[in-house]
Amino acid sequence: MASVNFIYRSHKENAPLKVRLQDKDVNNDSYQFEANTKIHTSKEFWNGKLKKDKNGKLKDGRNLENYSVLPVRLLSYQKLSGTNLGSQLNEINEKTKNLENFILEKYEQDKPTKENKEWLKSIIKEYYTPKVEKRIYPTILVDFIDFYLQDMKAINELKESKRKRVNTTKNKIIRLQAELNKTYRITDIDDYFKADFVSFSTKYKYSQNTQSGDFQRIKTICKHASKKGLQVNDVIFETDFKITKAKSPKIYLTYEDIDAIKKAELKHDYLENARDWLLISIYTGQRISDFMRFKSDMINTDESGRKFLKFIQQKTGHEMYLPIRSELIDILNKRNGEFPRQISDQKYNDFIKEVCKVAKLNSICEGKKRICLETDKSKATKYDYRDVLGKFEKWELVSSHIGRRTFATLNYSKISTPNLMYFTGHTTEKEFLNYIVLPDKDKANRAYDSFANMDANKTKQRTLEVVRNDAVNQ
């Protein structure tokens, strides 16, 4: 019967143990395998020769629990787990026992020949660096999407908003498959799939921008599949394999709109609460996922008495320090320094529309409004709502993003673009400029005024320097 022993065979004071497996062949001849382990100990600890008397004391009279050196072979001393010595002994025993069990189990499975001297070394290597089983990914697209989400979660790149968007896209593919009675594999994502997807999306009145976002997610998922070794169609790597976005009209609140919102006579407390959140979003430029979490304990005062709002942006993970403007202080003072009550995203969107309607923001604007396609709303499902382009009264187009767009638009050219991008959390200027709702001519006029002010300041500075030099010469 095979047996495993651990041996200290180094001349050094501290070294790893060796392990030896011994057995006999059919002729009763002994043979053995030997290899190094990663179990480190000291020569004194392993080779100590101590004996205890019937009273549990060492022969030299010292109490066992006060003795700092003990040989591992005295396993009866494991009871000393409360002492440093007992702890060390238990640790060594646990490591050797676990490795012994692993070796014997593998020996029974592999049944290596006695000539295979490298067998034990390979087993020790496997013990300390276990093989990671290769994950088997499905090749059907909708099945792979679940694995994609798991992978993104494993590397902390799956926010709740992303998970919802991906699952929405997945559900559309499932509906498309059911309608066409076909199953799409990852290798099927090509121009024919694109045609099917566009036809389906158009039939059910999904906007071009919604189609573009869904299609981009599908491409991203397929690229992930390629990284995992699955076969994909090369077309997914082509830049023109996409659904082009349509330019979507956006609105923002003018200074006159903001003044009307402030002065609106609201009859309900929930509208007053929503109005203050809307104003907070205008003064801070933050996403609803961030500003709706604001609390008074996020306010910090520096050594100069300046107040800042300190928080972590949920989407980007950036640490933010927002200067607290006087308008924001006025809102906090209404509630003894506290922010308004938190409400859900859906209620916020509904309530600020009511606020803007009371404020009489009735000008006709082009934009997208979410409507129900089902005439009988009692039968409507989540698939029956669409953002439809048209001309509506301004209050109907107000949503949670309007505060952020208003902040970026009203402060464009007044605050430097890098500073504005810091406040909004945009990482590229292209993304940031999408939030600027001004026509190109207005943007150019603002840029012109900024350059004119810079030139005027330089001229003023040169004049002051000349006057100062003349005064010195006199």
Give the predicted TM-score (pTM) of the model. Answer: 0.58
Place of tokens 């609140």: 253
> Do you know the residue count of the chain?
474
Q: Characterize 146-155 residue by residue with b for buried, 16 or more Cβ atoms within 10 angstroms of its Cβ, and e for exposed.
A: ebbbebbeee
Same domain, 81 and 118: yes
Same domain, 123 and 185: no
Q: What is the pLDDT of residue 314?
A: 85
Q: What is the pLDDT of residue 130?
A: 72
Q: In what order do the strands lie in the sheet with 14-24?
A: 3-7, 14-24, 30-42
**Cα 76 to Cα 192: distance, rounded to the nearest angstrom:** 74
Helix axes 208-227, 191-203, angle to 10 degrees: 150
Averaged in consecutive runs of 10 residues, what is the pLDDT profile of the chain (474 residues)?
86 88 87 90 68 41 40 42 60 87 90 88 86 82 95 84 92 96 96 96 90 96 94 94 87 94 95 96 93 93 89 86 90 94 94 96 89 76 78 93 91 84 81 72 52 55 55 52
Q: What is the pLDDT of residue 69?
A: 39
314 found inside a domain: yes
For the chain, the farthest-separated pair of C-alpha atoms sits apart, in whole angstroms, at 119
Q: What is the pLDDT of residue 73?
A: 44
Q: What is the pLDDT of residue 389?
A: 81
Helices H / strands E in the chain, number of each:
16, 8
Question: Which residues lie across from 319 on neighbouring strands?
Answer: 312
Structure tokens given for 323: 């200067």
| Amino acid type, 163 | R
Same domain, 182 and 86: no
Number of domains in the chain: 3
User: Could you tell me the CATH number of the domain that includes residue 192?
Assistant: 1.10.150
Same domain, 361 and 293: yes
Same domain, 262 and 310: yes
Same domain, 415 and 272: yes
Q: What is the pLDDT of residue 415?
A: 84
Q: What is the pLDDT of residue 469?
A: 57
CA distances from 410 to 251, 283, 394, 395, 446 (A): 12, 10, 18, 19, 11
Same domain, 45 and 154: no
Q: What is the pLDDT of residue 351?
A: 96
Ramachandran category for residue 399: left, alpha or beta (phi over 0 → left; psi -120 to 50 → alpha): beta
The secondary structure of 26-61 as a DSSP string is TT--EEEEEEEEEEEEEHHHHH----B-TTSBBTTS
Structure tokens given for 341: 């009550």
- Which structural domain, as residue segments, surrounds residue 123? 3-128
User: Could you tell me the CATH number of the domain that includes residue 345?
Assistant: 1.10.443.10
Last residue of a domain, one of 203, 237, 271: 237
